Amino acid sequence: MGVESQNTTDMSTPIGLLMLGNPVLTASGTFGYSNEYEEFLSLKNLGAIITKGITLNPKKGNPQPRIKEVPNGLINSIGLENFGIHEFIDKKLPVLRDNDIEFIVNIAGESIDEYKKVASTCRESGIEAIELNLSCPNVDKGCLEFGRDEETLYKLVSEVRESFSGVVVVKLGSNVSFPEKIAVTAQKAGADAISAINTVKAMNLSLNPDYKGYKFIKGGLSGPCIKPIALNFIYEIKKRISIPIIGMGGIMTLTDMLEFLAVGADAVQVGTATFTDPNLSEKLVFELKNFMETNGFSNINELKHSLRTRT
């Protein structure tokens, strides 16, 4: 069990009207719904956890196999398996609140109407922040198709914005031709922040021993192998938008996190690395705090300004 940080350095990070204690979050789909990781770390030390993706009704997800390790990464084809927003409200939301855990609810749907209904349910339950999954590449309907087209994305985000008065984060992926246009559209539609990037469409192939036929898995690629893609994506959209960016994609070390801040991220999400190092996100909070104190940075803005000075 981790110990709660005695924070003397100001690492507070605003995401819209949500003020986080620090810029280290956990990525959706890698950290459960609420306190599943509490035996490994003190959840209160994190900036926030982002819940597993939640839909209007329960989803069984994709058939097996759904996970494949690849060099420096992982392909997942989970397919947004979850027990639906109503069971989340009944069983998991009280746990988050009783334990005073900062959180953002990741939501997904197969239609704009489904996104709106889930967002409205979140609003009615007093949830303060949601992350719209508009980029998951391993479901047949919804998500990625909404995040590719500017007109469709604008319609979805703006209608969710009308249904939800709290903080709206839009999660984008790199499977688009012009990321900066998509990000600008999300901002114009009322997004309070962008999170990027989601997993990258990928495929792993295994030839049969006799070279007659093969097995394969298609899904979303994550881990250190996609970090260069994520850094470039954030660098490009930062030039065009003014709302905060939450960066992710292969973060495993303090240096990784600093690189994301350098190219324009205001906060980060730790995802795939959690599977091999369950308390990594908490360790990164402590490492960042120590780095800032050692180098004389009194707050996150000073650190970002220094990192973004090109030499």
Instruction: List, for residues 74-98, the tens digit of each pLDDT value.
Output: 999 998 999 999 999 999 999 999 9
225 catalytic? Reply is no
Confidence of residue 4 (pLDDT cuts 50, 70, 90): very low
What whole-number distance in Å separates Cα of residue 49 and Cα of residue 31?
A: 7
The pLDDT score that the predictor gives to residue 5 is 44
pLDDT tens, position by position, 60-80: 988 888 999 999 999 999 989
pTM for the complete prediction?
A: 0.93
**Cβ burial 1-12 (10 Å sphere, 16+ → b, else e):** ebeebeeebebe
Distance in angstroms (rounded) separating the CA atoms of residues 119 and 105: 9
Task: For the chain, give every domain's residue range.
Answer: 13-60+79-200+222-307
Structure tokens, 311: 């030499």
pLDDT band at 118, cuts 50/70/90? very high
- One of 3.20.20.70, 3.10.580.10, 3.40.50.300, 3.30.750.210 is the CATH number of 13-60+79-200+222-307, namely 3.20.20.70
Q: Is 275 helix (H, G, I), strand (E, B) or coil?
A: helix
Out of 122, 136, 143, 225, pick the active-site residue: 136
Amino acid at 156: L
Q: What's the residue count for the chain?
A: 311
